[in-house]
Amino acid sequence: MKDNTLIIIQDFIDDYPIMDYLEEKLELIIEEMTGKIKQGGQILVCGNGGSSSDSEHIVGEFLKEFYIRRPLNKDFKEKYLEYFPEDDSKDILKNLQEGIPAISLVSQTGFLSAYGNDVSFDMAYAQQVYVYGKEHDIFIGLSTSGNSTNVYNAAKVAKVKGLFVISLTGETGGKLNEVSDVLLNAPSQETFKVQEYHLPLYHLICRAVEYEMFGEEK
């Protein structure tokens, strides 16, 4: 792990000492996620209500620059210019950024409404994980109680398919504690407080993984 990534983690612990018990888990998550992304893995994220908004937020941070610059791949730039040497290439290449592949399962409203109506809302995320999930992928499930049935079912399918399962929950972890490779249980059982703790937790993960992927040591 890069020195600056360790500093990012320590800054989080300094800012949120109430969650210092998660330090080793966070280091493990960052190492595992970085390794799997480098091997071609993608991130699948889901939750309900406020946690569905968090899912969209997480994916947004992964797909584009979050905290540092992500220079475009040199080979892609050269190949693009071979294909399109005389159009508006400079503007296009200037605006493209490297990203970390991530999918918010909550955003596919056509599928979710059809599957929920025809089959089961409780199995909708599980169906997406079954179809999308592959070796080296990462599943992130958010549930303040840890007992959201559709997130739990998706986590079980992810586990069977060999995905690395991360859960963000409240204090007890609920049912997700049973199937998670790493459980990040915020120190509260009140929904709004759990969600408030989840924000800095996933911002830390996004920032640290970004730095591991694209950052340079000074």
Q: pLDDT (tens digit, 9 = 90+) per residue, 72-121?
A: 999 999 999 999 987 778 889 999 999 999 999 999 999 999 999 999 99
- What is the structure's pLDDT at 89? 82
Q: Is it the case that residue 218 has pLDDT exceeding 70?
A: no
Residue 217 has pLDDT above 80, yes or no: no
Query: Which has the closest alpha carbon to 159: 184, 181, 132, 143?
Result: 181
Whole-angstrom distance, CA of residue 43 vs CA of residue 61: 12
Residue 133 has what pLDDT?
98
Count up the domains in the chain and report the number: 2
- Structure tokens that stand for 68 in this block: 């540092």
Q: Could you tell me if 80 and 117 lie in one domain?
A: no
Both 42 and 86 in one domain: the answer is no
Domain span at residue 147 reads 3-64+99-214
State the pTM of this model.
0.96
- 53 and 89 in a single domain? The answer is no
